[in-house]
Chain A
């Protein structure tokens, strides 16, 4: 895609972050935040047909990485707009409704929080609770690659 894949040697002072597996095949389908849901109601959000059809497939989503609070991470949160509250540290705060949890398998190099990143990987649908943090997610991408745009 547009920018070069970030793959720096461990920049010690930066947060250890994503530089994952090899570039992925061209089969990844672009999925935008605005396409995720076909309806928003207080009785629940309704996944769009496109989202449903991509379960288990490789997708690319563009968004912002919410700052994680630990240097070593197994997941981070991808948001539609940059985070202006810190839900991990402020009890007043809360996550937006339409977040994506990005699971990473390796430590990765620094990525910016205030400019967009593209995440490519396998789309997972359904409630899951992270055993260590108790973080609840409904949509996840098991990341193959992450790039700064």
Chain B
């Protein structure tokens, strides 16, 4: 243990993270090894191995070994040498695997005119099998669902009696739990692409990336890939795959279960890429039809006139655009359900307030419980089992706009979907591993409660300690959703990382963002030769949205405590909680890295990735 730790420390100085690391002389070449040092693998799972050498002058020989043997021998494939557009020399072998478990040490040396550089990366390769294996896995991802976001939902949905909760959320009743750390390999604070990629591949990545390690080029589609959960389970088991969300179906979390890109914004690419046999999900549900519609149709955001929806229909998919169409979809066919051109509306707007100005024409969107039900009906037809990722997507999106009430109702809806899945599992052989986890946190916290009974308003009306009397949320129809999101005594919810905004503590009947995006033009000095020139430079900035001032109340301006170029509340680096139940859930305990979610899933299924039942699935999206 101690030895390993020491080695790790030395390695992190040598190879460091994925940025080019070099040693010896200051001018020697820089070496990047991908996958990065500390990476963990499941034996037989495919990845692209890539060594890049940068800033070399007259590069002579580059020596790449794994456990002292030539890398090509260990990987069973020659490393292709290529000089990239940026002058970096790349050595790469695609679709390789580690057949055997154990520790591997990659050593690279490069000699150039300036001397010798060296870098190392140590890997661990595992393969495990749960004592009682699972047939299916459902991964529920509460996007941005901090511990406090859960607690807000518990307070609103279950309530307390003399300080004790009347009930727990369904997700909190699962047998096992673990604290999950969320950083990527590039930065402390992650995003939903990077974090979902860890769940889907067992490898960390960088912000805005999924299913890849980041190489040195600008091309967002040439980075070395790691096999995703959809690809592994289709190739090795012939299992069915479902991705279900209320965000766009090509948004980061669902897309990371399937695809590969350095830039998550390439959503029209991802939509078309879903068609490729080797990872095509059997159920896709959520919003974002604009990525699928050809650019000849109004509402399309595609750059081409490729009709992705028609291509799915040609492959036998039912296409549904409303709740009614989804419910009518047959269980024996794959399903593409796109219920909004962009992100679906949240529970409060969709099911309760139903303001036509907010919903536009989208007045028959399904709820997550019914989407879950339909997903399980379809996927459970496959005797080989299924993997479903079901996302509570707008918990994150509503916390970004500092609308904790809308986030809370969506958290409750998410919990109801989990409750349905738990019940379904009991009735269908109890052979489904259910995992509930957030992908990252938000800096949201419960300061106390808030009321204006004594005439106080704003910050003076935030009630702390003994003054934090219980909130007065009512649930007369006992559906678990409070009847009124804005009761007399409500929660005082505050944020650790926010833009400039006006605090008002009240529920906003119409979604109202905290800050507006603006551009500031500043003078920047530039040294040109011995002269200094001043140039106008535009910079993204933000300012508090005056629509957030509560009518009749004094305006309480909160200055930004994060940089002004982001008009939203940001993710935080806080750890998140995982709950799991069913076969294989015993894997989760203590404090674990986010990549362990992947290893827990493969262990529960007992995947042997050295064996392919479907070796010839096409990689082309047609």
Contact = CB atoms under 8 A, between A and B. Distances in A.
Interface in B262-280: 263-265
A42 B285 CA distance: 12
The 3 nearest A-B residue pairs measured at CB = A84-B513, A40-B361, A67-B519
A148 interface: no
Contacts of B527: none
B538 interface: yes
A92 B538 contact: no
B134 to A, nearest CB: 33
A145 to B, nearest CB: 22
Contacts of B341: 40, 42, 44-45, 97
B540 interface: yes
Interface string B320-351: 01100000000000000011111000000000
A127 B401 contact: no
Nearest to B545: A84
Contact of B303 (A66, A68, A134): A134
Contact of A45 (B264, B299, B302, B537): B299
A86 B540 contact: yes
Interface string A109-142: 0000110000000000001010000101010000
A83 interface: yes
B338 A82 contact: no
Given A13-B523, A92-B191, A86 B517 contact: yes
A94 B568 CA distance: 13
Interface in A81-101: 82-86, 88-92, 94-97
Given A83-B516, A85-B517, A42 B289 contact: yes
A27 B338 CA distance: 41
Interface string B348-365: 000000000000111000
Given A41-B321, A42-B341, A91-B265, A113 B299 contact: no
B508 to A, nearest CB: 13
28 contacts: A12-B536, A13-B523, A13-B536, A40-B362, A41-B321, A42-B341, A43-B297, A44-B293, A45-B341, A67-B517, A68-B519, A71-B537, A82-B516, A84-B517, A84-B567, A85-B568, A86-B565, A90-B568, A91-B208, A94-B342, A97-B290, A113-B518, A113-B519, A114-B518, A114-B546, A127-B295, A136-B302, A138-B300
Contact of A39 (B264, B303, B361, B546): B361
A42 B265 CA distance: 20
A95 B303 CA distance: 15
Contacts of A44: 289, 293, 297-300, 341
Contact of A82 (B289, B290, B545): B545
B384 interface: no
B296 interface: yes
Interface in A48-86: 66-71, 82-86
Contacts of A46: 298
Contacts of A90: 566, 568
Contacts of A86: 517, 540, 542, 565-567
A14 interface: yes
A69 B538 contact: yes
Nearest to B325: A42
A104 interface: no
Given A42-B321, A42-B340, A68-B538, 17 more contacts: A40-B341, A43-B309, A43-B321, A44-B298, A44-B299, A44-B300, A45-B299, A46-B298, A69-B540, A71-B537, A84-B516, A84-B545, A88-B540, A92-B568, A113-B518, A138-B295, A138-B299
Contacts of A84: 401, 513-517, 545, 567-568
B154 to A, nearest CB: 27
B187 interface: no
A149 interface: no
Contacts of A88: 540
B158 interface: no
